Structure 1
Amino acid sequence: MDIQQLKLLAGLVRGLLEQSHHSVGHNQSLDLIAALPGLRNWPEVQAFPDRVAACELDVASASCLAFRLKKKFALELSPQAMLAALSPPGTEKPTRAPQIWPTGPVPGVYITDSQDAINALLERYEEATDGALVYAERAGNHWEGSIDLGEGGLWSNGLRRVRSGTLLVVGPLELNQQSWSDSSRHLEMACLVAQGSEHRVAVLIDTPTPEAMFEDVHLMVRSIQPEGDDCDAALLGVVTADGELQLRDPFAAPRARLEQPGSIATVDALPSSVLAALTKAVEARSAGLLLFGSSEIDEHPAIEFVAASLALTEHAGPAARIMPRHRSTPAKDFQVPDAIKQLPFLPSIESAYEQGYRRMVFAPSYTPSELLLEFSKDVLLISGTYGPPPGAWPGRAWDASCRFLRSFPA
């Protein structure tokens, strides 16, 4: 680059600022453009022609200018947007190597369900980069060369200044109904950071269905990103057992054909006094909310009635059970009748629906009311709850659904 090119670029910066209602003079724009070669003002540009000659218009230099404009005018532009604004129309932007580990894997998001794989990646990264810093959440903040991302996590403002290609370690992110929405936003931000700053982001996933991990992660990002956005394109691959960031094409495969064995559920637990009425009420229904109440405080209220209802609702489609949350004592999740144990244990209603399940056993306390309202139009949602005395149905599930759905207490 030469001084004349810098003068031309200074004019583009003036136009860019005018679009944002910031008026600057010619000399002030020259001082601003001095940020490209890393200088403070135009006199320094004239004093250090060698620095100017060595400067290239790339993401690194555009990042310096973007920072200066933000500092002086509160103008928010990513380095990529700044580079696009300063490049001639129709210019094909060359793909540049990341600043950190330039010969390493493609920047993007890579996932795993193994902490050992994350540890192996940290060792590989340290060796390949001669000890470059890692920015990490809990899955990687134990590493000697890592900086804890703290409460801000991926939303930390300082990450914008981190050099491209840096390794970020995220998670563990839990895939269950309670955490589904928060984890989805976390994954979306991981994609945005990977795309915007060209970082390598490794995400540790904690899921009850590791065989469907890629499909679930893709669903989570795709369902939360704004219409027309393509941040899910940042989902690239897997962290292998030996710490390699390996591309996976496609990242998410089509869901396997749904096959479910015959149910072993029986109606034996249902009182004979209500069986006929309940059978008649549900036989014509394939969607809605079916709640059973119990006056006994239990880990799984009315679960024997929920299990029995599976024998009455087979016409509604394949059944699955939704994981409400991650427990410190996961064995309690399986202290249920065999007919419930037999069901696939899936991380969310959203995941189960995409896989083709149309009957779902869920836990009201950990399921957002809005979700019940949305999916009860196409899915038969079944649950048990504690309800003393008969007819009292506390909880968000009942409050959200009683306005438009019938219930059938047993």
Structure 2
Amino acid sequence: MSIRITALRATRPTTSRAKISLAQTSRRAYASAPAPAPRSYGGLVGSAATGFAIALGYTIYHGYNESKQVNCDAAPLVDTVDTYGYPWLPVDAIEKDDPKNPMRIRMANWVKSLQDHIVNTMESIESNSSPNSFSPSPDAPKFLRDTWLRKEGGEGSSCVLAGGRVFEKAGINVSVVHGSLPPRAQKAMLPDHPSLPEPVETVPFFATGLSIVIHPRNPHVPTVHLNYRYFEIEDPKNPNEPKAWWFGGGSDLTPSYLDEEDCAHFHRELKKACDKHDERYWPDFKKACDKYFFITHRGESRGIGGIFFDDLTTSSPINQPPVSTMKHKSKEDLFEFVKDASSAFLPAYVPIVYKHKDRKWTEEERRWQQLRRGRYVEFNLVYDRGTKFGLHTPGARVESILMSLPETARWEYMTPVGSDGTNTPEEELQKVLKNPREWV
């Protein structure tokens, strides 16, 4: 029997001050069936917070709850309808996003509104799912919103759901932070951020970002990660004209069991967001994702990839026009790309959740999921730049840094699962993890 989930694509901010209108866009069906013929997905609307930023005493794994400590005088409006069919009004949608505002304010407001949207979506998936032995209460679990202030400057809130009907653990976090960046810290950032000027003095910095890690309960629902961020080094004489700035981010999928249709769908949605802005983005960012999320000591990838980029500026080589007569990309162009790429998260992931969340599983499948989560932990603690530097930073917020880790994981000495040569589903996944594919 086929499973169909109707999905709606989130549209761009197009609303006037003090008034919000909801606009539905095209509906498409997401279908899968056990029949041999391939089914198609319809449209819908990670783990690196930058290590350099976390090394400075903050992390972009945090969330947001508005406080008086941050002055954000405009909020981007997302005209949208949630994928489960209920309308959403962004809490912070007060007025139209104004290009005259500094990018720091526009990006902070974007990730704050998007965080609320995604939290509401995940909570609705929980409330629309039946109670089970893991969460027997008739009241669906809600996210804990853990608001925090950074002593050195800034704020955030870590939105975490644990013990859910569908999601064993989910973190949806935003940070808005600022502080001082000494020359030594700037030099440490240069290898990964060549757009930085040569450091000669302590300078102010600002960073904001959205980070998501979701670990579902069902072994057939993949883990997913997202991170989008904006960083700038300020000019003390002119705060509205930063000395250096860049965007970074991406999203990737980590299944325990391979469903090729899921993989193709997830990649297709991200590719559409990339191609809308530059057809060079997808192949470059997909390759970077495969490279970054590689567990060297295991000789395998953490998952089946997605997109990953860092130090994205108007002067980045990939943003230079292939033909001299074409115009250069502006900062506004890159912001629009980041908004489209981050908005692709729900259409890329939610249909996969609905497709598999009620599927039966065995104890052996749960065991394999725990083993794969062990690999996830290994990558985050050994290789992830944000986690490594964050844990070595005095005063770092450890709870938020380790938000990305699953509640449960497993390690077995010389486990035969996935490597016994019998072409099991577990072994099929292993083949893909050792040899990344082009899914679209």
TM category (shorter chain) comes to: under 0.3
Task: Give the helix-richer structure, 1 or 2.
Answer: 1
User: What's the TM-score, normalizing by structure 1?
Assistant: 0.21
Q: If you compute each CA radius of gyration, which structure gives the higher value, 1 or 2? A: 1
- TM-score, structure 2 as length reference: 0.20
Identify the structure with bigger relative contact order (alpha carbons < 8 Å, sequence gap 6+): 2
User: Quick check: which one's strand share is greater?
Assistant: 2
